[in-house]
Amino acid sequence: MDMLLSSPTFVFIQVLNSISLGMNLFIIAAGLSLIFGVLRVINFAHGVFYMFGAYIMYSIAQDMELGFLTGVIAAAAGLSVIAIVIERGLFQWLYDKEHLMQLLLTFAIVLIMGDLAKIIWGTDQLSVSYPEGLSGATNLGITFYPTYRLLLAVIGPLIFIGLFLMIERTRWGRLTRAATQDMEMLAALGINVPVIYVTIFLIGSALAGVGGALASPINSPTPGMDATIIVECFVIVIIGGLGSLWGSFVGALIYGFVFNFGSVIVPNWQDVFAFLLLMVVLLIRPWGLFGKPEREGH
Amino acid sequence: MGWSMPRGVLISCIVVLVALALIPVTESRYLIDITTEIMVYALFALSLNVIIGFSGNVSFGHAAYFAIGGYVNAILLTTYEMPLIISFPLAVVASGLAAAFVAYFCTRLTDIYFAMLTLAFAMLVWAIAFKWRSVTGGDDGFVGVHVPAFLDDRVPFFYFTLIIVAVSIGILWMICHSAFGQTLIAVRENLTRAGFIGVNTRLMRGAAFVVAGTFAGIAGAIFAMYNRGVYTESAFWTESAQVLIMTLLGGMYSFFGPAIGAAALYLLERFANEYTQYWPTVLGVILLVIVLVLPEGLVGLAKRIKARLAGGS
Amino acid sequence: MAVLETKGLTKDFGGFVAINNVTFSLEKGEKHAIIGPNGAGKTTFFNLITGHLEPSAGTVTFEDKTITGMPPHQIVRLGLARSFQRINIFPRMTVYQNIQTSLIARDHKHFSLFAPAAAQNLQETAELLELVGLDTEATEIAGELSYGKQKQLELAISLAENPSVLLLDEPTAGMSPQETKEAIALVDEIAKTRGLTLLFTEHDMSVVFGIADRISVLHHGELIASGLPDEMRNNPEVRRVYLGEGDDAAA
């Protein structure tokens, strides 16, 4: 605590840590939120998708030595394939059913894919090296900072801008936004709604995969990492507001700061701080900082 | 009094009770242990169904209240050497209070948001159990629970469990068939309409959550003594999922369905574990079957078969 | 004496003004119809009055009490009940339980954890069933009733609250001419015997002019006229925006 107050360099490093963590989480949470925004499904399996992304990275970059960038691309591609299979094979039958059934379906996927990961990659903690040339530290003038974490802090905003442009500036994005409002209307206009659905699910899932791949040098792939990340994502999207891109971005940043500074102030209890923040948000804005109230059923 | 249980159900209950009471006569340790565990899980699943089947919300974090009941009972018995007559009620009250606290936040939202929040709060309980090592034992678990001498043996413990579970289920049955229970069903059926007959639906959903948490606490408090320990896994979300699946497998639209689901899933797990280490996959497949073809569970299936047979004759 | 009043009531759905500055009053004991073309804002108006939606501006007063922004369950308890345009019952409960639950709620027994449901309000439930002509369907699952009977059931659910003012949103929508006639006769009868004040929206002009004491006209979210049926029939503005050129609709 004293150290925190007395050393500007230390504070500076913590700020960078917070942004780096927040931006990594943003990539994953944005996928969850995007899928919810259009498909109205909360994908509990999003955490397992993240875990698969990390494991795929291990196999490609570490095991087969095909390089880090190949690993990221493979994670995105792998999760895209998984997403198509799940959306076309399972989800599409449940859009008009109760939300409970959809949640349970995604949970069944968690259970099955969790075991699948154990069969393929075992139960040991695996380690992924930093990409070549990024394992060191960069001189930022007042201090050195790990280059890879710096990269994470930059990739997040780039993905944010990309998603933002896609949703706000393209015809396709406008259609997707319309789909969140009224899919029947879209279908009536001759728009192929199933294609929109599967594409959004694919993009959202690929983001989880990419997020996992990028996190793998810091968060070693291991069974159970899916449970941690999904809860973090839930906290972020509830704070930010489900279905809102800005919400995921701001929510993830806030989470990053609360988590990092929380662990400095009261080590080991950082998760609890995130929850306290969540409770405060729920009291003031039940639908999250950028969320809109759901229309009531019936 | 005005309580009326359909005759067939009443007779079945009595038969099951008598059969259970006779289990120790077999002197089979295996059978006694299995039955004790099933009774605890049956109560746990029935308590969850107050939220799901009656108030129409989904909790993905019910294990938290089971774990709180277990931890509080274990800690009071062992660390503070309190007698059971004090520790047990306090454990149950603690579960109920924790549920009330969480309900205050969760009931601000409905549906998917509610489900996500219950999960998130349960993971908070898990995180606390995990990190508060000095009190809970952290990931080593809280072991060596002091169980009162009169419950030290398997058979007295079996009867203790039978009595507590039977009385609890009796009380739950009354609550579910009371004016409160029927109004809860109305809340489940049509939230908006329930508001327009003068019901504060948020408060009702919260009350259901508290009732459910309280009875889960009872189950947890028994289980901690049975196991002589409490472990962080008991609060983990997979445990919540397991009890959720028990409830749905049995059938959420029937009062006793979840108890049947608990017994079925428990036995299935015992059986499956002899053949495979991939129980989660089996569980996932069961869940897929429920979602895709058996939304009303085993009880719903039985009703459908009965209707088919009656229609065919 | 006005039992229900709105002043400057406005609802803005993110730029789309569904209800614009509506000042309206409902007199005690009257049967008041709100008419207007589709999308005029009739249902939104009801939703604002009953607490289903929160107004962007303006106030709602019920029996000299400001109820703006109050949740529905509190407004109902003051004696303002409503039915919905799209049927709003408890579909998987029996017809009997639908009405009984409403009575349980009225008597504040919905938090009685140990009062057997099966023993509550038996007499009154039976009376309401008979009143709306559903006594033979008591044990049926509500959602499986015919459309017209579900509407009757919803009426009984609303009546169970013992309201002094009843808001009916399109009480005859989707009914056959015969059902419409019976339903309206029933509503009329109940209003008389119970001394109810009635506010309703209705698309069928023969019903409107048949039973309404007063008529208000909504158009594009604005209240453009309010008065006796004959005045409305001859009001040039009403004829222009609502009844169109021909006056056959008012016949």
Q: What is the pLDDT of residues C48-60, one digit of tens each?
A: 999 999 999 999 9
Q: Is A270 on the interface with B (CB under 8 A)?
A: no
Of A101, A105, A271, the CB nearest to B127: A271
pLDDT band for B102, please (50, 70, 90 cuts): very high
Q: Is B174 on the interface with C (CB under 8 A)?
A: yes
**What is the 8-class DSSP label of residue B177?**
T
Neighbour-count burial of B168, counting CB atoms closer than 10 A to its CB (0-12 exposed, 13-18 middle, 19+ buried): buried
Chain A residues close to B120, C-beta within 8 Å:
231, 234-235, 238, 275, 278
Tell me: the pLDDT tens digits for B230-283?
Answer: 999 999 888 998 999 999 999 999 999 999 999 999 999 999 988 888 888 999
- Does C135 score more than 80 pLDDT? yes
For chain B, give the percent of residues with pLDDT over 90: 73
Got the DSSP string for chain C?
-EEEEEEEEEEEETTEEEEEEEEEEEETT-EEEEE-STTSSHHHHHHHHTTSS--SEEEEEETTEE-TT--HHHHHHHTEEE--SS--S-TTSBHHHHHHHHHHHHTT-TT-TTSBGGGSSHHHHHHHHHHTT-GGGTTSBGGGS-HHHHHHHHHHHHHTT--SEEEEESTTTT--HHHHHHHHHHHHHHHHHHT-EEEEE-S-HHHHHHH-SEEEEEETTEEEEEE-HHHHHH-HHHIIIII-S--GGG-
Task: Pick out chain A residues at pLDDT < 50.
Answer: 295-298
**Closest chain B residue by Cα to residue C76:** B198
Of B2, B4, B193, the CB nearest to C88: B193
Alpha helices for A62-191 (secondary structure H): 68-89, 99-121, 147-169, 171-181, 183-188
- Does C23 score more than 90 pLDDT? yes
- Does C76 score more than 70 pLDDT? yes
More confident residue, A292 or C36: C36
Of A93, A119, A272, the CB nearest to B124: A272
- Does B313 score more than 60 pLDDT? no
- Cα(A200)–Cα(A178) distance, rounded to whole angstroms? 13
- Cα(C5)–Cα(C70) distance, rounded to whole angstroms? 15
Judged by CB atoms closer than 8 Å, whether chains meet at C117 and B190 is answered as: no
- Does C144 score more than 90 pLDDT? yes
Judged by CB atoms closer than 8 Å, whether chains meet at B179 and C89 is answered as: no
Judged by CB atoms closer than 8 Å, whether chains meet at B241 and A111 is answered as: yes
The helix/strand/coil state of A288 is coil
Chain B residues close to A90, C-beta within 8 Å:
288
Give ∠ CA B103-B105-B106 in degrees, rounded to 5.
65
pLDDT for position C246:
43
Task: Give the residue-averaged pLDDT of B142-159.
Answer: 93
pLDDT for position B154:
92
Closest among A75, A43, A46, A82 to A58, alpha carbons compared: A75
Q: Is A258 on the interface with B (CB under 8 A)?
A: no
Judged by CB atoms closer than 8 Å, whether chains meet at B196 and C81 is answered as: yes
- Cα(C160)–Cα(C187) distance, rounded to whole angstroms? 14
Q: Is B105 on the interface with A (CB under 8 A)?
A: yes
Closest among B275, B116, B274, B281 to A114, alpha carbons compared: B281
Judged by CB atoms closer than 8 Å, whether chains meet at B128 and A99 is answered as: no
Judged by CB atoms closer than 8 Å, whether chains meet at A93 and B112 is answered as: no
The helix/strand/coil state of B229 is strand
Task: Give the residue-averaged pLDDT of C150-176.
Answer: 91
Judged by CB atoms closer than 8 Å, whether chains meet at C117 and B177 is answered as: yes
Judged by CB atoms closer than 8 Å, whether chains meet at A234 and B120 is answered as: yes
Q: Which residue has the tokens 């804005």?
A: A285
pLDDT for position A275:
81
Q: Is B97 on the interface with A (CB under 8 A)?
A: no
- Cα(A41)–Cα(A267) distance, rounded to whole angstroms? 35
Tell me: the pLDDT tens digits for C208-217?
Answer: 888 899 999 9
Chain B, window 193-252: residues with a beta carbon less than 8 angstroms from a chain A beta carbon: 193, 236-238, 241, 244, 248
> Residue B28: which H helix or E strand, with range?
none
**Closest chain A residue by Cα to residue B244:** A104
Work out how many CB contacts closer than 8 A connect B with C: 115
pLDDT for position B110:
79
pTM of the full structure: 0.90
Of A36, A238, A294, the CB nearest to B117: A238
Q: Is B109 on the interface with A (CB under 8 A)?
A: yes
C72 is written with which tokens? 């529905």
- Does B207 score more than 50 pLDDT? yes
Strands (E), chain B: 142-143, 229-230
pLDDT for position C248:
45
Judged by CB atoms closer than 8 Å, whether chains meet at A275 and B60 is answered as: no
pLDDT for position A294:
62
Preferred mutation among B197, B205, B210, B254 to probe C, highest tally of C CBs within 10 A: B197
Tell me: the pLDDT tens digits for B64-92?
Answer: 999 999 999 999 999 999 999 999 999 99
For chain C, give the percent of residues with pLDDT over 90: 62
pLDDT for position B98:
97
Chain A residues close to B244, C-beta within 8 Å:
104
Give the minimum alpha-carbon distance from C190 to chain B in angstroms, rounded to a whole number.
19
- Does C244 score more than 80 pLDDT? no
Chain B residues close to C88, C-beta within 8 Å:
190, 192-193, 196
Chain B residues close to C72, C-beta within 8 Å:
192, 195-196
The helix/strand/coil state of A146 is strand
- Does C195 score more than 60 pLDDT? yes
Give the minimum alpha-carbon distance from B191 to chain C in angstroms, rounded to a whole number.
9
Long-range contacts of A255-258 (CB under 8 A, 24+ apart): A255/A21, A255/A22, A255/A25, A256/A17, A256/A18, A256/A19, A256/A20, A256/A21, A256/A22, A256/A23, A256/A25, A257/A15, A257/A18, A257/A22
Closest among B155, B154, B158, B210 to B180, alpha carbons compared: B210
Judged by CB atoms closer than 8 Å, whether chains meet at B199 and C110 is answered as: yes
Chain B residues close to A298, C-beta within 8 Å:
190-193
Q: Is A99 on the interface with B (CB under 8 A)?
A: yes
Give the minimum alpha-carbon distance from A144 to chain B in angstroms, rounded to a whole number.
32
Supply φ then ψ for residue C167, to 5 degrees: -105, 120
